[in-house]
């Protein structure tokens, strides 16, 4: 397989979180790695279960922290980050994220979020001084990790309609807001619309093949697709109290969509659009 | 301390997730336990860090799973649940949740969600056959864990305005939707409006004392406050495709609020209302 449009070789980090090496998530991860490498990109993989990644933040993350002192997590993590004294497994992941032009997260949706294993990667790697915070070096004034694209690839047991515009679980975009806007946007990264495979607990070989094809199309657009049009913090839309100023959104815009730029296309209710969320019914 | 209104003694499970026994989270947990016990309730605590809770789902959770077989997480967890063959630490937590009339989750917001430690409690404890799924016994037709109240108590580093109606991070209710609607509502529990302490990284002793007072007021309303008015799955508002039927929401209602019953009060933008979200500026 080769990319539809030739791209400049880029550096891509794939982070995957599933305990089973024969899972759909492992298949999608493997497929992505093969496709991206064939297209000439440099790819590194953090297979968190295979790495036996430590999922929980504790004092061991900060070797200089004195055992008898109260652990203030944000302060300790910022201090350790700036001193270059984080636990080696954290430092190694930070180096990978810093190296990457794009980060892909591959995971099954468990309880409407990432598995604890992946949450632990987020909690431990994106320290103050690395992912955000006043101590982030000046070149990153628009966000510590500016310039990096971010793509979520998620498998979901439920059917697509349950996560659609009026779906009972909320729109996928809203359910993933803590990740897309909370982690990616907040640290300066550029999130794309997520890639989702629905009905993932009972999926046929044909559907797996279709999912792989759709995923590779999304990978071909990793550096060219329109990202989610979140507003900029520095764009004049927000007040000093961190609230959106009155009247900057288009009339009738509600919910979390007020944080999207009004010049961008509205999110579609159904149907596939180029670069938009992929829907595969299980 | 005694409750403002005498209540029937109830059973309450407090689940806390912070690595530091001297943290604000530990103070709030201890304060809640003392207050609830003084009010005559029976309280059990799962202090996940102190328990060294295993945060990640893997094959060890299902002792009967054959090592050479592909691990299908949902199927394996349902089978183990129905056979009474889950790992003992999971079974023990399920027994506590089943025992409880109310569950309180106490945690710091990390990356706009629960810490990985608590996510791992959600991932591992709320198995198919326990928290949801076709195999849930008939008395629980409105949700496996119906009849139990659920209260989030969260400490947040940011200031309150950033999580308010037009706040840059999204409303707290929307950010917590995967937990409030995803976990609690989906399993049949009755979530209350969350209790939040903002500015938690730089909080004075006076503010801690105020937070404890406000928290105990919320605890006094644990069984009497109006819950979040989520619509019922069986109430006729949703179609068979799991989408909200057209026109059932009040005009002008948008975002995730379409999943609230229109007869209930709208969520307030600012100010404290009885049983509403508590706001403490840091």
The alpha-carbon gap from B282 to the nearest alpha carbon of chain A, in Å, equals 13
Could you tell me which residues are beta bridge partners of residue A103?
A13, A150
| Chain A neighbors of B126, CB-CB under 8 A | 111
Total beta-carbon pairs less than 8 A apart between chain A and chain B: 215
Task: List, in order, residues 6 or more apart from A248 with CB less than 8 Å away.
Answer: A237, A262
- Candidates B78, B242, B258, B282: best to mutate against A (most CBs of A within 10 A) is B242
Structure letter (DSSP) for residue B60 = G
For residue A215, the distance in angstroms to the closest alpha carbon of chain B comes to 22
How far CA B273 is from CA of A123, B160, B268, in Å, comes to 33, 15, 8
Place of tokens 């609690």: B184
- Residues from chain B that touch A254, judged by Cβ atoms under 8 A, are 252-255, 257
Asked whether B23 and A70 are in contact (CB, 8 A), the reply is yes
B8-27 burial, b at 16+ Cβ within 10 Å, e below that, comes to: eebebbbbbbbbbeebbbbb
Residues in chain A: 282
Cβ-Cβ contacts under 8 Å, A19 against chain B: 56-59, 71, 73
Collect all residues of chain B within an 8 Å Cβ-Cβ radius of residue A23: 70-71
- Please report the DSSP string for A169-182 in residue order: T--HHHHTHIIIII
Least confident span in A132-141, B69-78, B120-129, B191-200: A132-141
Q: Which helix (H) or strand (E) holds A216?
A: helix A205-220
Question: Which residue among B123, B201, B244 sits closest to A111, beta carbon to beta carbon?
Answer: B123
pLDDT at A237 over 90: yes
Sign of CA dihedral A272, A200, A255, A252: positive
Chain B: give the shortest CA distance to residue A1, in Å.
28
* Min distance B152 CA to chain A CA atoms (Å): 16
Cβ contact, residue pair A174, B256, below 8 Å: yes
pLDDT bracket for residue B234 (50, 70, 90): confident
Q: What long-range pairs does B260-265 form, CB within 8 A, spacing at least 24?
A: B260/B228, B260/B229, B260/B230, B260/B231, B261/B229, B261/B230, B261/B231, B263/B229, B264/B226, B264/B229
Percent of chain B past pLDDT 70, that is, above it, reads 89
How far is CA B7 from each of CA A85, B2, B3, B38, B44, rounded to the nearest angstrom? Answer: 51, 10, 8, 12, 18
Residue A135: predicted pLDDT: 74
pLDDT digits (tens, 9 = 90+) for A23-40: 999 999 999 999 999 999
b/e burial code for range B57-92 (CB count within 10 A of at least 16 → b): bbeebbeebeeeeebbbbebbbbbbbeeebeebbbe
Q: What angle do CA B260, B117, A96 make, to 5 degrees?
A: 105
- From CA B205, how far away is CA A74, in angstroms rounded? 19
pLDDT in tens, A89-103: 999 999 999 999 999
Task: Tell me the mean pLDDT in the region A135-152.
Answer: 79
Q: Which residues of B touch A181 (CB under 8 A)?
A: 112, 169-170
B2-12 pLDDT, tens per residue?
Answer: 445 556 899 99
CA dihedral A159, A17, B176, B201 (to 10 degrees): -170
Q: Please give, rounded to a whole number of angstroms, the shortest distance from the CA of B142 to a CA of chain A.
A: 15
The region, left, alpha or beta by phi > 0 then psi within -120 to 50, assigned to residue A133 is: left
CB within 8 Å: B174 and A175: no
ipTM field: 0.92
Answer whether B238 sits within 8 Å of A168, measured CB to CB.
Answer: yes
Longest CA pairwise span in chain A (Å): 58
Rounded Cα gap, residues A179 and B166, in angstroms: 19
How far apart (Å, rounded) are the C-alpha atoms in residues B215 and B211? 6
The answer for residues whose C-beta is within 8 angstroms of residue A76's C-beta and 6 or more apart is: A59, A61, A62, A65
pLDDT of residue A5: 54
Do A162 and B242 count as a contact with CB atoms less than 8 A apart?
Answer: yes
Which chain A residue has its CA at the smallest distance from B234's CA? A168
Name the closest residue on chain A to residue B184, using Cα atoms: A111
Which of B23, B55, B74 lies at the smallest CB-CB distance from A120? B55
For residue B253, the distance in angstroms to the closest alpha carbon of chain A comes to 8
Q: What is the pTM of this model?
A: 0.92
Kindly indicate the confidence band of residue A143, based on its pLDDT and cuts at 50, 70 and 90: confident
A166 neighbourhood in chain B, CB within 8 Å: 243-244, 246, 258
Residue of A nearest to B233 (CA): A168
Strand, coil or helix: what is B88? helix
pLDDT at A136: 74
Structure-derived torsion over alpha carbons of residues A128, A131, A132, A134, reported in degrees to the nearest 10: 60
Q: Average pLDDT in the B38-59 region?
A: 98
Determine the distance in angstroms separating the CA of A270 from the nearest CA of chain B, rounded to an integer: 12
Mean pLDDT of A107-133: 97
What is the model's pLDDT at position B233?
A: 84
- Please indicate whether, in this complex, the C-beta atoms of A241 and B201 are within 8 angstroms of each other: no
Q: What is the mean pLDDT of chain B?
A: 90
Binned at pLDDT 50, 70 and 90, residue A234 comes out as: confident
What separation in angstroms does the CA of B11 have from each of B30, B43, B148, B215? 16, 6, 10, 18
Cβ contacts (< 8 Å) between B120 and chain A: which residues? 55-56, 116
Partners of A20 on chain B (C-beta within 8 Å) are: 59, 70-73
Facing residue for A242 by CB, picked from B57, B59, B159:
B159
Q: Is A19 in Cβ contact with B71 (below 8 Å)?
A: yes
Rounded distance, CA A38 to CA B100, Å? 54
Report H helices in chain B: 24-38, 73-82, 88-99, 116-125, 172-175, 177, 205-220
């Amino acid at each position: 397989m080769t990319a539809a449009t030739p791209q400049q070789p880029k550096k891509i980090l794939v982070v995957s979180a599933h305990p089973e090496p024969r899972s759909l998530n492992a298949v999608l991860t493997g497929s992505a790695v093969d496709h991206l490498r064939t297209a000439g990109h440099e790819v590194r993989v953090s297979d968190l279960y295979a790495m036996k990644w430590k999922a929980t933040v504790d004092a061991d993350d900060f070797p200089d922290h004195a055992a008898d002192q109260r652990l203030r997590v944000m302060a300790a993590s910022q201090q350790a980050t700036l001193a270059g004294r984080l636990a080696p497994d954290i430092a190694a992941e930070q180096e990978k994220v810093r190296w990457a032009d794009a980060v892909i997260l591959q995971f099954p949706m468990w309880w409407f979020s990432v598995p604890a294993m992946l949450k632990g990667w987020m909690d431990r790697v994106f320290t103050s001084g690395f992912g955000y915070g006043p101590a982030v070096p000046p070149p990153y004034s628009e966000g510590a990790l500016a310039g990096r694209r971010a793509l979520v690839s998620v498998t979901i047991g439920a059917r697509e309609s349950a996560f659609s515009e009026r779906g009972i679980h909320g729109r996928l975009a809203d359910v993933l807001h803590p990740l897309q806007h909370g982690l990616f946007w907040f640290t300066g990264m550029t999130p794309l619309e997520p890639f989702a495979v629905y009905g993932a607990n009972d999926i046929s070989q044909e559907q797996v093949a279709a999912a792989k094809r759709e995923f590779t199309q999304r990978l071909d657009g990793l550096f060219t697709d329109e990202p989610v049009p979140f507003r900029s913090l520095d764009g004049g839309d927000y007040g000093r109290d961190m609230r959106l100023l009155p009247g900057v959104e288009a009339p009738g815009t509600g919910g979390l969509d007020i944080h999207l730029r009004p010049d961008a296309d509205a999110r579609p209710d159904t149907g596939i659009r180029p670069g938009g969320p992929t829907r595969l019914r299980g």
